[in-house]
Chains A and B, each alone.
Chain A
Amino acid sequence: MSASAAVTAPFDVRKVRADFPILKQLARGKPLVYLDSANTSQKPQRVIDTEREVYETYYANVHRGVYEISAKAEKAFEGARVKLQGFLGAAESREIVFTRGTTEAINLVAYTFGRKNVGAGDEVLISGLEHHSNIVPWQMLCEEKGASLRVAPIDDAGQIRLDEMEKLIGARTKLVAVGHVSNALGTVNPVREIVKMAHAKGAPVLIDGAQAAPHLPLNLRELDCDFYAISGHKMFGPSGIGALYGKAERLEAMPPFMGGGDMILSVTFEKTTYNKIPFKFEAGTPNIAGTIALGATVDYLTEIGMANIAAHEHALLEYATAALQSLPGLRIIGTAREKAGVVSFVLDGIHPHDVGTVIDYEGVAIRTGHHCAQPVMERFAVPATCRASFALYNTTEDVDVLVRGLKKVQEMFK
């Protein structure tokens, strides 16, 4: 069952907010207005409780113990894999590899698939919208192998130029790696089309889904991508846990990533036989409690319904875009037709860091800076932007507080 089909109750943002204890905190003496979920997201009580429950009642190692709590921990740990499989719409749970997050997931593919399949003169294709974590691993790989990194340009609205991208995919393209949703601008990329376009020319596709998983219903089987990377901390789960989805046949064909315990079947000094997927890629004792808590996160999101969340955030995005555009001297960077709940903007003559410091005193948390996407900043000729990002717990009142705060900033620096 896909996440979107599991809608149980109408979306009620007041009820959702009550699930997040941090939202009851004050920031600088004012109610916290958290508009930085694209950076990292807040955690519902259930996720916090799950992690504590693991440590308090059944914490033990997985895949090793014969005793009761070890079996219980393993069942919950592997249960989280199955939950994530359902959430992502993967065909099999063995296609889900646990990692520390999106960055590690992308690096895993670069170090295993990349090192095996990318050689001198080959190409890896990314887009001009990418987060540093979907640029640097490929740069490192290309440097090591004598391959070249190609970049599909973006237009003035912050959308990938698909016509240019298609021209850049050729016989030497060993991988296309693109983000699903841009963290810096909020652009939702046409990943279905990109996958079709790349597959038509025989190139596999990795999608950085860090910014999509918390906000959009996903069905990776339908999407048909080869790899998909996510982070728990961006989707209301713990930090330090994430996952790589890979088609089983892709994962089977890849060499292991790190060597160590749990990724082996047998070891002698002469030869080691590697474990089957996904364990082949999961060396060492994993983030057990974090993984189980990520499973609880998936349950939580599935109950609320990803389609409900996407609709709520879309309404917020429209409200915020209109409200921000009404401010004189404010320019929105990134005006793609398809956007997730992210508004990146600059104020005339006022540096984003001054904006961030001043509205912090209104209780508003936004990201100010380059958002780990310096090439995007360069494309729009700004050193940095202010970025407000929305999640299921944000309200139109949050946007109103932001806008009032920005007026104060403009008053102060006029």
Chain B
Amino acid sequence: MSEDLRELYQEVILDHSKRPRNLREIADASRHAEGFNPLCGDRATVYLTLDGDVVKDVSFVGKGCSISTASASMMTEAVKGKTRGETERLFERFHALVTTDPDKAGGAAPELGKLAVFAGVAEFPARVKCASLAWHTLKAALDGAQEPVKTE
């Protein structure tokens, strides 16, 4: 397999895509939002329970490609327990990670932790929206958006 492909489909990404974590509805969620990727028709709904300013619980429901499923799964693990501000900063870091040429990026920001496995996405511009769908949707849920968000 080529190096780029191995970078994109890392073991941890394949694992999360096959066994997504927090793939469930939260019946009494304080917020939820729907996301849609018009390019591939993928949809995701993100549910949130906020305790004051802190993300107490977060989950998602939807079907997509391995990148979008793994990204949603790992996002839920990464933001649980974080404040709203921390979550938004993490999204900014993540977005920079998947859109910046790895040769110029100088490595993933340390606070990304496990999410650094998505660095390989930057080599595949057509797949950036797959990786960011759940994050855009999470942000919409935090912002209390009424309309479904789109990746374009």
Binding site for B on A (CB under 8 A): 28, 350-354, 357-358, 361, 368-370, 374, 377, 383-384, 412-413
Q: Which residues of B contact A351 (CB under 8 A)?
A: 40, 42, 64-66
**A198 vs B48: C-alpha distance when bound (angstroms):** 54
Q: Which residues of A contact B67 (CB under 8 A)?
A: 353-354
The prevalent SS among residues of B at the interface is mixed
Which single residue of chain A is at the shortest CB-CB distance from B63? A383
Cβ proximity bits B1-13 to A, threshold 8 Å, 1 near / 0 not: 1101100110000
Task: Quote the shortest CB–CB distance from A344 to chain B (angstroms).
Answer: 14
Partner of B65, one of A353, A370, A412: A353
B127 lies within 8 A of A353 (CB): yes
Q: What total of chain B residues lie within 8 Å of the partner, measured CB to CB?
A: 22
A361 lies within 8 A of B66 (CB): no
Task: Quote the shortest CB–CB distance from B112 to chain A (angstroms).
Answer: 22
Cβ proximity bits B62-88 to A, threshold 8 Å, 1 near / 0 not: 011111000000000000000000000
Count A/B pairs, Cβ under 8 Å: 52
Which single residue of chain A is at the shortest CB-CB distance from B124? A357
B130 at the interface (CB under 8 A from A): yes
B40 lies within 8 A of A357 (CB): no
Which single residue of chain A is at the shortest CB-CB distance from B129? A353
Can you report 21 residue pairs joining A to B where beta carbons are below 8 Å apart?
A28-B2, A351-B40, A351-B64, A351-B66, A352-B40, A354-B9, A354-B65, A354-B66, A354-B67, A357-B8, A357-B126, A358-B5, A361-B1, A361-B5, A377-B41, A383-B40, A383-B41, A383-B64, A384-B41, A412-B1, A412-B9
Q: Which residues of A contact B145 (CB under 8 A)?
A: none
A383 lies within 8 A of B42 (CB): yes
Q: Which residues of A contact B65 (CB under 8 A)?
A: 351-354
Partner of B40, one of A28, A370, A412: A370
B41 lies within 8 A of A369 (CB): yes
**Which of B41, B67, B130 has the most A CB atoms < 10 Å from its CB?**
B41
Q: Which residues of A contact B18 (CB under 8 A)?
A: 413
Give me 19 other A-B pairs in contact (C-beta within 8 A), A351-B66, A353-B67 excluded: A28-B2, A350-B66, A351-B42, A351-B64, A351-B65, A352-B40, A352-B65, A354-B9, A354-B65, A357-B5, A358-B5, A361-B4, A368-B40, A369-B39, A369-B40, A370-B40, A383-B41, A412-B14, A413-B66
**A383 vs B37: C-alpha distance when bound (angstroms):** 10
Cβ proximity bits B109-145 to A, threshold 8 Å, 1 near / 0 not: 0000000000000001011001000000000000000
Q: Which residues of B contact A370 (CB under 8 A)?
A: 40-41
**Which of B9, B40, B126 has the most A CB atoms < 10 Å from its CB?**
B40
**A352 vs B2: C-alpha distance when bound (angstroms):** 19
Task: Quote the shortest CB–CB distance from A362 to chain B (angstroms).
Answer: 10
Q: Which residues of B contact A357 (CB under 8 A)?
A: 5, 8, 124, 126-127
Which single residue of chain B is at the shortest CB-CB distance from A411? B1
**A368 vs B67: C-alpha distance when bound (angstroms):** 15
Task: Quote the shortest CB–CB distance from A217 to chain B (angstroms).
Answer: 35
**A357 vs B40: C-alpha distance when bound (angstroms):** 13
Task: Quote the shortest CB–CB distance from A270 to chain B (angstroms).
Answer: 47
Task: Quote the shortest CB–CB distance from B36 to chain A (angstroms).
Answer: 10
Q: Which residues of B contact A354 (CB under 8 A)?
A: 9, 65-67
Cβ proximity bits B45-67 to A, threshold 8 Å, 1 near / 0 not: 00000000000000000011111
Q: Which residues of A contact B40 (CB under 8 A)?
A: 351-353, 368-370, 383-384
Task: Quote the shortest CB–CB distance from B32 to chain A (angstroms).
Answer: 20
**A353 vs B65: C-alpha distance when bound (angstroms):** 6
B2 lies within 8 A of A374 (CB): no
**Which of A28, A354, A369 has the most B CB atoms < 10 Å from its CB?**
A354
Task: Quote the shortest CB–CB distance from A387 to chain B (angstroms).
Answer: 13
Which single residue of chain A is at the shortest CB-CB distance from B42? A383
**A78 vs B1: C-alpha distance when bound (angstroms):** 52
Q: Which residues of A contact B124 (CB under 8 A)?
A: 357
